[in-house]
Amino acid sequence: MSEIIVYGTPVSPFVRKVEAVLNLSSVPYEFVNINIMDMPDWFLEISPAKRIPVLRDKSIAENGAGGTIADSSAICLYLDKKLNAGLYGESAFDAGRVAWLEEYADSELALPLGMKLFRPILFPRLTGKESDLDTARQTYNEVLPKLFDYLEDALNGNDFFVGNKLSLADIAVGCQLTQLNLVVGLPDNNRWPGLAKHTEVMTNHPCIADNLSACQNFLGRIVPEKIDLS
């Protein structure tokens, strides 16, 4: 029996981020699926913001709110400290830079990509309706490019964002852009070659391979082909 439980749904990029940290450290964990459209009362007790994921460390408490952490960034910080994963770089400045890029991925990038592109494509199809491609297309062509410009500059020709080694910044950005890749494809290689390469590397990285495979199995029945939003 593993000490760690992750509550969430595989399709969430924030769940993907937490799973990546656990997988990088080769830590066994139990995964419990949560219906995000109808969260059970027991889950709301440990997720006061009504979000996924939530992590439980059973070595601290097996029941109730004790031993749980809600929010992927807080979870990843806890796991990095607990497991000595080294995902915040070598220096204090590196750690700050990693934390900033994680925040950028989780807010500036995730909000339009998730709410204004991924959901308008996916959610209507879950009820037999047509995707809202107008909203998704506007987001893809008018909102995301400036965000991709920033990330391309932040890479500055390197393979990774901070210290030219894998960090939580790469995992956070990668988990958001693999979400894009699931339904639309990689960032345009001609305009953002560094970011396209980074996303492809993260797509194939063992730390998220199982998660993406589960997502593809699910999404393939709903969005069988990648959608051209250009």
- Within the chain, all domains assigned CATH 1.20.1050.10 are found at 92-219
Strand order in the sheet with 29-33: 29-33, 4-8, 54-57, 68-70
- pLDDT tens-digit readout, 10-50: 999 999 999 999 999 999 999 999 999 899 999 999 999 99
Question: Is 173 in contact with 113 (CB distance < 8 Å)?
Answer: no
Q: What is the pLDDT of residue 220?
A: 85
pLDDT of residue 224: 85
CATH number of 92-219: 1.20.1050.10
Two structure tokens written together for 176? 């958001």
User: Nearest 5 degrees, angle CA 110-CA 120-CA 17?
Assistant: 30
Task: Give the other-Cβ count within 10 Å of 206's Cβ.
Answer: 9
pLDDT of residue 221: 87
How far is CA 69 from each of CA 23, 78, 119, rounded to the nearest angstrom? 18, 9, 26
The CATH number of the structural domain formed by 4-83 is 3.40.30.10
Cβ 136 vs Cβ 120: under 8 Å: yes
| Residues of the chain scoring pLDDT < 50 | none
Show Cβ contacts of residue 125 under 8 Å, excluding neighbours closer than 6 positions: 131, 222, 223
